[in-house]
Amino acid sequence: MYPFREAGLKLRDIHQILEDAGLGMPSYTIWGRTRSGCYFCFFQQKIEWVRLKETHPHLFQKAKEFESADTSTGNKFFWSENESLAELERPERMEEIKRKWEQSREKTKKGSDKLFQILGQGELDEPEREGCLICTI
């Protein structure tokens, strides 16, 4: 089911395989994604939404257009639980998310080998949730 894991490969091995194949790391990892390249992944961390806004504002806008709140029924659909992307993109909120991410990253620099730390993501800013099959590899 998880061939890389079953073969005992580590992240550095995957990097080498991608480099040897002439592919390199996917471009979405350059701007801080910890999961697949889907710009509207339900399982993104808030810091990833901030980075999407900063790096690919057109994709952030496209994701924002999918969100809705029905005032008559009270039903809401937001990518990031109870916070809309319109709320998240407020400059003061984006700064707060960045600050919290930096603080949690500093706390976790002291010796854990979790994948998100190896990739330089610090602590998760949301509870860990199960992602799609690609996200769990």
Confidence at residue 20, expressed as pLDDT on a 0 to 100 scale? 93
Above 60 in pLDDT, residue 128? no
CA atoms within 13 A on the CB side of 18: 13
Above 50 in pLDDT, residue 127? no
CA 130 vs CA 34, 41, 106: distances in Å: 13, 12, 25
Alpha-carbon span 98 to 121, nearest angstrom: 11
Confidence at residue 57, expressed as pLDDT on a 0 to 100 scale? 94
Above 90 in pLDDT, residue 50? yes
- Decide which of 94 and 30 is more confident: 94
What residues contact residue 73 under an 8 Å CB cut-off, 6+ apart? none
Confidence at residue 81, expressed as pLDDT on a 0 to 100 scale? 79
Above 90 in pLDDT, residue 85? yes
Task: State the chain's mean pLDDT as an integer.
Answer: 80
Q: Based on the number of CB atoms within 10 Å of its own CB, is 133 exposed (0-12), middle (13-18) or buried (19 or more)?
A: exposed
DSSP state of 81: T
